[in-house]
Amino acid sequence: MIAAPITHDIVLVGGGHTHALLLRRWAMDPLPGVRLTLISRDVLTPYSGMLPGFIAGHYTFEDVHIDLFRLCAWADVRFIKAEMTGIDLSSKTLQLSGRPDVGYDILSLDTGSTPTLSVPGAAEHATPVKPVSSFIERWRSVENRKPANLGVVGAGAGGFELVSAMAHRMKHEPINLHWFLRGDTPMSDRPGKVGERALQSADEAGINIHTGFDVKQVEEGCLHAVDGRTQEFADLLWCTAASAPAWPGSAGLDTDSRGFVAIAATLQSTSHPDVFATGDIGTQIDTPSAKAGVYAVRQAPVLFHNLRALVTNNALKAYVPQKDFLSLVSTGGRYAIGSRSGVTFSGAWVWRWKHSIDQAFMDKFIDLPKRTMSAPATDAPMRCSGCGSKIPAEVLRDVLADFPIVENDRVNVSVGVAQGDDAAVFTCRTATLVQSVDQLRAMLDDPYVFGRIAALHALSDAHAQQSIPHSAQVLLTIPFASPSVMARELRQLMLGIHSALQEDECTLVGGHSAEGEELQVGLVVNAELAEPHESVESANKETTASRGSSTDREWSIILTQPLGIGLLFAGLMQAKAQGVDVDAALSDMMQSNAKAAKICRGQGMRHCTDVTGFGLLGHLHNTAHREQLICCIQPADVPVMAGIEALIQAGVQSSLSESNQLILAQLIGAQNLSNTQKIVLTDPQTAGGLVTWVPKHNVDKCIDQLRAAGYEQSAVIGRARYINDRTDSAGVSVLG
């Protein structure tokens, strides 16, 4: 945790090479009081230098991607998975797709570029190579289809490496590869011999080379040149010069003639010095350079220095692009062409050299060193405790002034959020109430996502009690920060909470807030018992009639969500969990249990509990004894999240796992469980799924409805029946 109050928000948009290297540097030397946030559309960011090797089959998908989620967790940097759609420079906010705006004090852009698709028909009928993350999925589709004619447009190094890599990967397939060049030789920005060797290599690989093919138009399945030539294709890949997105100019940033952000030597926008731009998205007006990864890598230390210098009011450095650099391009197989200072060379040894350079770059993000934290600022103002730690009234007032309030017909609020009192006053249409309270410490730094998860976690108790939430109050602890940063944090958090409450038609009627060392959220949820469906009433009557007889009714036990949340977040704290696995878990955690509970009620659900801190076996054990049930669980049928086995093998466990496993001594057959099963079945869950008891004859229909509603890994994990008064005892047995 950051000990000093947060006074500055630096937000990075895009996971390009410059930002990835910056994060690694920042982790080793953070600046007290400064929060770094990375916003990226993707959890994994590809390293373009190894893309041809991946296409050729030399590298795996994992080999060529940097795990941004894992990197940020290690670096103590907030990670927000979202796509930026625009910038409001006057309010210093970023518009994000599908979630609230995010504010910044200093902004850095490293979002890359896309190929120019200005040729008529190119946007509709060609596949752009950038952004690389999107291209990889398209390439897999092309590879699976194995088209008869596959074309690549682009005379640069990227076009050559791409077509050569495909030729190597598909050398045994009946595919005609075509390479379209506007001029007579490729890579005109490099020594002439590089282009000559590239043409020779492509010819030897059996690639059909079309020189002087100036594309005029792209139609579906056909490419037209200015000189009248045409060429049919089944798939066409577009790897031409870089093109800028529309948002820099729309936002009001100075741009160059092509629309890229115009920057000074300090990497700052020429119009807005609180905005930096690196990599392809920026163009140094006085010293422009090619859109190439080698420049982005060299910009990282300058950006690192200048972000800190701007915060601390120190002098900024200038980035001077190198006039000459080592160029290494692969030819498909383990062979490459290189050039430096006008000298051209090639061979297998050049490929090995390129591989060693690329692997050394990737190793920076695989072998993350142990961090050493900087000491907190000693001149930070003292912060009071008790009621003196309340969030300032003006911050609360500003955030709540335009806060959306959802009303529902189950509760009539006379004093609530709008009135800002310490207590809520409301009346309900029923006297049978359900109330639950929960509190969570933040397990991730994204306040919007955490707010939503905390609310769903609290609401889950009400759903497990077969009740419908109608109102809630919140207890918030916001980390020490300046008023502006605190307002941003509070707004994100409250909107996350609101999104979950709104989804369940639950009204926020009040709450309390305070400052503290770390982000925490507590919620009190009020609900009323749901009216049972006819199928529930019928099932209950049948159960009552058969209970204690020789024909005890048998129930199927359903788990609606997979297990492993505690393990994944423990692994994330240790920089051992994979970002894609954590991201998948978050998708499950951000799904309300309301629909699942309603579906199961409709299929005659008798009992229900949610899986939270005590783990699956702990909650099953408690329910079995409370309801006088005998439950038999099949561990092999319990759904588990991706990446869990690897984390357990790496020695990862939740801090609550050891105490949760004490329940095993009270379960029949637990001694036969493997170590992995013991850990998984007792793993504490945050915003976990439901365990429900459904009549056996309804279970297939129930599972189908759950999966159709988005609970895709819902599964039957065992069976249950009521005890006979004299011959049985309640409890849980585990069948290996």
In this structure, how many other beta carbons lie within 10 angstroms of the beta carbon of residue 369? Answer: 10
Cα–Cα separations (whole angstroms), residue 411 to 405, 414, 469, 507: 13, 10, 10, 8
Strands 93-96 and 99-103: antiparallel
User: pTM of the predicted model, to two decimals?
Assistant: 0.87
Asked if the peptide bond before residue 131 counts as cis, ω within 30 degrees of 0, the response is: yes
What are the chain's domains?
Answer: 8-113+244-323 (3.50.50.60), 115-241 (3.50.50.60), 386-529 (3.30.1330.10), 534-734 (3.90.650.10)
Tokens 């200005």 locate to 118
Q: What is the spatial distance between Cα 539 and Cα 531, in angstroms, rounded to a whole number?
A: 14
Separation CA 437–CA 452 (nearest Å): 15
pLDDT of amino acid 393: 57
- Output the DSSP codes for 36-85: EEEEES-SEEE-GGGHHHHHHTSS-TGGGEEEHHHHHHHHT-EEEE--EE
Phi and psi torsions of 616, nearest 5°:
-60, -50
CB 622 within 8 A of CB 614: yes
Match 């495909």 to its residue by tokens.
Answer: 166
Q: Are 13 and 79 in contact (CB under 8 A)?
A: no
Closest CA to 460 of 415, 426, 506: 506
Distance, in Å, from the CA atom of 633 to the CA atom of 663, rounded to the nearest integer, reads: 15
Identify residue 208 by its one-letter amino acid code: N
Closest CA to 642 of 573, 562, 571: 562
Q: What is the mean pLDDT of each run of 10 residues along the chain (736 residues)?
A: 77 95 94 95 92 94 94 95 96 95 97 86 89 81 85 92 94 91 89 92 95 94 95 91 89 94 96 96 87 85 97 95 88 94 94 96 90 49 44 63 71 61 56 79 92 94 88 92 92 95 92 89 89 48 44 81 95 92 95 95 91 90 87 94 95 87 90 93 93 94 96 95 76 78
Radius of gyration of the chain (CA): 30
Buried b / exposed e along 586-623 (16+ C-beta atoms within 10 A):
bebbbbbbbbbbbbbbbbbbbbbbbbbbbbbbbbbbeb
Print burial letters for 320-333: b (CB count within 10 Å at least 16), e (below 16). Answer: ebeeeeebbbbbbb
Phi, psi (degrees; rounded to nearest 5) at 534: -60, -35
What is the distance between the alpha carbons of residues 726 and 133, in angstroms, rounded to a whole number?
63
For residue 114, the one-letter residue type is T
Query: For 14, left (φ over 0), alpha (ψ -120 to 50), or beta?
Result: left
Q: Which residues contact 689 (CB under 8 A, 6 or more apart)?
A: 559, 560, 561, 562, 588, 593, 596, 610, 611, 711, 714
Q: Could you give the angle at the alpha carbon of 544 between the alpha carbons of 539 and 549, nearest 5°?
A: 120
Instruction: Identify whether the C-beta of residue 186 lies closer than 8 Å to the C-beta of residue 155.
Output: yes
